[in-house]
Amino acid sequence: MKPQPMNGRIVSAKRNGKTYYSYMRTYRVKIDSNQQGKTRGSGKSKVVTESYYLGTAEMILEKLTHEKPVEIYNKAFGLPCALWKMVQEIGLIDIVNRVVPGKRDRQVSLGEYIAIAAINQVGHTASKRALAKWYESTVLPRITGISKEQLSSQHFWNAFDEIVSEQALQDKKIKEKIQETRKLEFEELERILDDSRIEAIEEELWQVVAKKFDLCADVILYDATNFYTFMDECTAANIPQRCGSNKQKRFDKRQIGLALAVLRPWGIPIFHQIYGGQTNEQCLFTTVISTLVNRYHKIAGSAKKPVLIFDQGSNSQEHFDTLSDKVHFIAALSPSDYPHLAAIPMKEYKDGYRGEKYYSQKSQIYQREALVVMTFSEPHKKRDHRAFRKQLEKVYNALNTKIRKHSTGNLDELKQEIQYSLGSMKISSAKASEYLEIKDNVSGGGIRSLKVVCKRAELARKRLTFGKRIIFTDMLELSPEAVLREYQGKQVIEDDFKILKDRQYVSFWPMYHWTDTKIRVHSFVTVLALLLVKLVEFQVRAHGLQISGKALVNELQDMTESLLVYNPKDAERKLCTLTTNQKEIFSALGLESFL
């Protein structure tokens, strides 16, 4: 039996001085759903009451006067707006257009193309072919006045070419009679590839940034990393090279190196340089430091020496001779290279910085007096011991297994092969031959055999280095704790490298370019993206909000704008409901100007 409707009615109820309304209706239904009829004997029924809450009178009026949207379009709001606002604040577009004037009659300026490309690198990286689609999914068309049709992939490639010209590179190759198909050494490429416009943009940009945000540039962190690519050997680009030690252990891929200098404590980049994957970091150091120091003096407007903090990968006598007149430094040394320091007994160490024991003395390092601070950590000692033992056993077992398999062959040839392997295989960044050697054995029966054995004295010296690190500086007046504290700040640049390798943050990957000129501009745009994110984070923290960079990007990504379409002539925009954290970020960045 179908429910029998009765008259509905509006009822009211008062709570805390306010009147609330509900719609109520009642009807009868059979207790047994199989029974039908209304007459006596047709089965028992019961009365059912339904109630629907309507709200206050004002809420009812709101519902009656506002029709429901027939279409809803969501657009990314928070992240693109925050980055675009920072682009405006630092004058990025004007700086690019001033350094590279370009065509006057163009609808979209070169600076706008570069700014949009940099914003695309944050949180979401689309290829130049897919960039217009990503752009349309954001509020950027509304706030920039640039339509997606003006952002074809060809437009971006043309823009990149205005900064570093492919034609100019090819003309220089012809002038110097360099075969088009010949792969260039990186030093050759650096000489003929003109990226002076990138350097000019960076210098002018950093003078503006340092002044606007009152950044202290007295302490500079420097390091280098690399990125693997999926380019094959036939690709025209010379920068990606298969040689070198890839930080992600992708030794089978061609790779690109990136040298980076940032300001502490925010990790704001002030300099970058890409280099061939096969190029040793030490080869770059002298040139990089000269450029970096010149930029520092322009930014800081000061003649005093900055403090440069870097790791042991850049150490050499030549480098420290170069540094002495330009900068103060705090750097690391390998304990394995200084066995007399590693052998200092633990009873000489003091309890100190962050739970680590330390020992300090003044010593001659690279033919100059330096304050040397050695630290020791028991957890690090155990970690170093495990890692070293694992690598040692792997090489030891592999070579002895090879000897057993070929023991019936020519032992002289086998010995040469093993010696070659000991010279080429690595154990803790050193040649395996430092800790292992091959020996001849002759049994009582005159049977000759080979065996790889450990060098006990070398292993004993190596064990003395476990858990230890050496930091040194030319600033003799510093306390050991101050030296350790300053060097610990180097973690900031390591965090920046993690950001550049995080595909959900500010990723150097994927790199949709196949020529040296476009790769050079791509690296510039990626560092610009890192700069924008770091400045947004700096601005938020300046308002007292303690939030990490990635968490900030995630919060901004969750801020969306909805376009509610009621009919062809009636639509409205609404911002999504913000959380308490998002409201604080929204206010700190002044995003209300984009509503």
Asked if 151 contacts 130 with a C-beta cutoff of 8 angstroms, the reply is: no
Q: What is the pLDDT of residue 445?
A: 75
What is the mean predicted confidence (pLDDT) over 104-128? Answer: 86
Amino acid found at 521: V
Greater model confidence, 228 or 348: 348
Asked if 169 contacts 516 with a C-beta cutoff of 8 angstroms, the reply is: yes
Which pLDDT band holds residue 531 (cuts at 50, 70, 90)? very high
Q: What is the pLDDT of residue 242?
A: 46
Asked if 514 contacts 166 with a C-beta cutoff of 8 angstroms, the reply is: no
Q: List beta partners, residue 476.
A: none
What is the mean predicted confidence (pLDDT) over 189-207? Answer: 88
What is the mean predicted confidence (pLDDT) over 200-222? Answer: 90
What is the mean predicted confidence (pLDDT) over 308-320? Answer: 83
Residue 335: CA count within 13 A, CB half-sphere = 21
Amino acid found at 494: E
Q: Among candidates 520, 506, 509, 95, which has minimal Cα distance to 273? A: 520
Q: Among candidates 554, 549, 576, 552, which has minimal Cα distance to 564? A: 576
Greater model confidence, 285 or 67: 285
Q: What is the pLDDT of residue 342?
A: 93
Q: What is the pLDDT of residue 247?
A: 54
Enter the pTM of the model.
0.81
Nearest 5 degrees, angle CA 177-CA 181-CA 186? 75
Architecture in CATH of 186-337+476-534: 2-Layer Sandwich (3.30)
Summary mean pLDDT of the chain:
85
**CA 182 from chain center: how many Å?**
33
Sign, Cα dihedral of 25, 27, 32, 34: negative
pLDDT score of 238 more than 70:
no
207: Cβ contacts below 8 Å, ≥ 6 apart: 298, 299
Per-residue H/E/C for 299-328: HHCCCCCCEEEECHHHCCHHHHHHHCCCCE
Domain positions in the chain: 4-65, 186-337+476-534, 380-463
pLDDT score of 42 more than 80:
no
Q: What is the pLDDT of residue 304?
A: 78
Amino acid found at 469: R
Specify which of 125-134, 176-185, 231-240 reaches the highest per-range mean pLDDT: 125-134
Alpha helices in 251-364 (DSSP H): 281-300, 317-323, 339-342
Greater model confidence, 383 or 316: 383
Q: What secondary structure letter does DSSP report for 593?
A: G
CA distance 562 to 137: 11
pLDDT score of 546 more than 60:
yes
Tens digit of pLDDT for each residue in 484-529? 999 998 999 999 999 999 888 998 877 766 688 888 999 999 999 9
CA distance 572 to 564: 5
What is the mean predicted confidence (pLDDT) over 64-70? Answer: 71
Strands, sheet with 357-365, edge to edge from the N-terminal-most edge strand: 268-276, 255-263, 219-228, 307-310, 328-333, 468-473, 368-376, 357-365, 350-351
Asked if 265 contacts 234 with a C-beta cutoff of 8 angstroms, the reply is: no
CA distance 488 to 556: 30
Q: What is the pLDDT of residue 296?
A: 82
Amino acid found at 410: N
CA distance 276 to 257: 6
Weakest-pLDDT range from 214-223, 306-315, 503-512: 503-512
